[in-house]
Amino acid sequence: MKFLFTCGGTAGHINPALAVAGRLRELRPDSEFLFIGAEGRMETDLVPRAGYEIRTVRITNIHRGFSMEDIKHNLATLKNVVTSTGEAKRIIREFKPDAAAGTGGYVCYPVLRAAHELGVPTAVHESNAVPGLTTRMLEGCVDAVMVGFEESRANYKHPERVAVTGTPVRGEFLRADKLAARRALDLPEDRPLVASVWGSLGAGHMNEIMTDFIVRACAHPFFGLIHSTGKAWYKGMTERLEREKPGYAKLGMDVREYIYDMPAVMAAADLVLCRAGASTLAELTAMGKPAVLIPSPNVTNNHQEKNARVLAEAGGARLLLEPDFTADSLLGLVSELLRRPEQLEDMSAKMRAMGVTDATDRIARAILELAEGRAAK
């Protein structure tokens, strides 16, 4: 069988697609896979790293403002939608998939629309509690809509057609072992470790906070840190750290442009500092990993804070709002949690209780059912 996936923009859209593709490969080892992404976006790096072929189309996002620049941008996007739909149709005719699935990002609209118009069974998965514009636009044409949260079904015109599956998590997260991960990463087995990641693209304000956090932590370095800056921020952050705290890396502060081995890093960590995107939360709950969640304030309908409050109220995470803390207060909270292993164990159990560990399998089997249905006709 042949499966087409489309996703793009951020790891939160890309990793669920990789997870489902991996499960389909386990279920049907002789299958072929192809991804379609947007030109120049993160998927063109992450998808080949995972061993899959990717083709690209030209697509841009929608600006929600009404300035002249916003209007010009949106007119260009409308033109790109038409062009990219045609490009997607050419790729789909060549590949001849048995089913096509999207997991988020603007590229999903032209690709799944093209697949639908060519008679290919289609599915879309929405990880966040509040559906994005792309998912809303696709609801009327795809064969299956799947969501991560029960609460999100009410946001659709036909909730009875929406299946609640949870959010896909790559098998590496489910199989990860803390001790094995620390040995693989050459980390001390008895020293607390914090992982820090603020979205796959990074966040300028949070990198400023984390720079001050690292400088202060180096005064009494009782824990190690692995921090992901995002490509745009790596050079500036490391240069500032070299000026203000030379030798920070030797004290166990590992600053990276991107964490490619995220399953191992998260498994090795005692505590994770991160945003509250749905894919990240699915990984945390699947692993039972305690976290300090700082939702991005720059997302549609403030959905990250809504996601984070669910886990915080369950006791698996601490919630901080971006304007309301400093590097000192964050370091104080991290130090407090790391010095109370019994509290981390309690948070871990509560986090794990929120996990949906078979979400990837549910979604893969739904897509497989679509493909088999087409093959039977």
Each residue's pLDDT tens digit, 318-335: 999 988 889 999 999 999
Instruction: Tell me how far apart the alpha carbons of residues 371 and 221 are, in angstroms, rounded to a whole number.
Output: 54
Whether 4 contacts 99, CB under 8 Å: yes
- Provide the percentage of residues in the chain whose pLDDT is more than 70: 93
Buried/exposed code over 7-28 (b: 16+ C-beta within 10 A; e: otherwise)? bbbbbbbbbbbbbbbbbbbeeb
CA distances to 141, 166, 242, 281, 359 from 286, in Å: 32, 11, 36, 8, 10
On the question of pLDDT at 122 being above 70, the answer is yes
**Mean local confidence (pLDDT), 266-293:** 94
Q: How confident is the model at residue 74 (pLDDT cuts 50, 70, 90)?
A: low
On the question of pLDDT at 238 being above 60, the answer is yes
Cα angle value 315/320/321 (rounded, 5°): 135
Question: For position 327, what pLDDT does the model report?
Answer: 95
Question: For position 70, what pLDDT does the model report?
Answer: 64
Question: For position 76, what pLDDT does the model report?
Answer: 66
For 8, residues 6+ apart whose C-beta sits below 8 A from its C-beta are 14, 37, 38, 41, 42, 43, 59, 104, 105, 106, 107, 108
At position 99, the amino acid (one-letter code) is A
Question: For position 65, what pLDDT does the model report?
Answer: 66
**Mean local confidence (pLDDT), 130-148:** 86
Q: Any idea what DSSP says for residue 241?
A: H
Show the tokens assigned to 370.
């679509």
Dump the DSSP string for 255-286. Answer: EES--TTHHHHHHH-SEEEE---HHHHHHHHH
Q: Give me the sign of the Cα torsion angle 222, 256, 305, 18.
A: negative
Question: For position 152, what pLDDT does the model report?
Answer: 79
Residue 68: other Cβ atoms inside 10 A: 8
Whether 121 contacts 366, CB under 8 Å: no
Each residue's pLDDT tens digit, 75-119: 666 676 678 888 999 999 999 999 999 998 889 999 999 999 999
Whether 239 contacts 48, CB under 8 Å: no
At position 131, the amino acid (one-letter code) is P
193-197 and 271-274 strand pairing: parallel
Question: For position 40, what pLDDT does the model report?
Answer: 85
Whether 225 contacts 245, CB under 8 Å: no
On the question of pLDDT at 303 being above 90, the answer is no
DSSP 3-state assignment of 361? Answer: helix
Each residue's pLDDT tens digit, 146-197: 998 777 788 888 888 999 998 998 888 888 899 999 999 999 999 999 999 9
Residue 302: other Cβ atoms inside 10 A: 13
Each residue's pLDDT tens digit, 16-43: 999 999 999 999 999 999 999 988 888 9
* Residue that has been written with the tokens 């300090």 in this structure: 292
Instruction: Tell me how far apart the alpha carbons of residues 90 and 101 are, in angstroms, rounded to a whole number.
Output: 17
Instruction: Tell me how far apart the alpha carbons of residues 321 and 332 are, in angstroms, rounded to a whole number.
Output: 16
Element (H, E) at 163: strand 162-164
Instruction: Tell me how far apart the alpha carbons of residues 306 and 321 are, in angstroms, rounded to a whole number.
Output: 12
Question: For position 302, what pLDDT does the model report?
Answer: 77
Question: For position 123, what pLDDT does the model report?
Answer: 97
Instruction: Tell me how far apart the alpha carbons of residues 12 and 98 are, in angstroms, rounded to a whole number.
Output: 25
Alpha helices, DSSP H, located in 162-248: 171-175, 178-184, 204-217, 234-244
On the question of pLDDT at 202 being above 60, the answer is no
224-228 and 253-256 strand pairing: parallel
Question: For position 377, what pLDDT does the model report?
Answer: 63
Q: Any idea what DSSP says for residue 130?
A: S
Domain architecture of the chain: domains with CATH: 2-169+357-376 (3.40.50.2000), 172-353 (3.40.50.2000)
* Residue that has been written with the tokens 């050459």 in this structure: 186
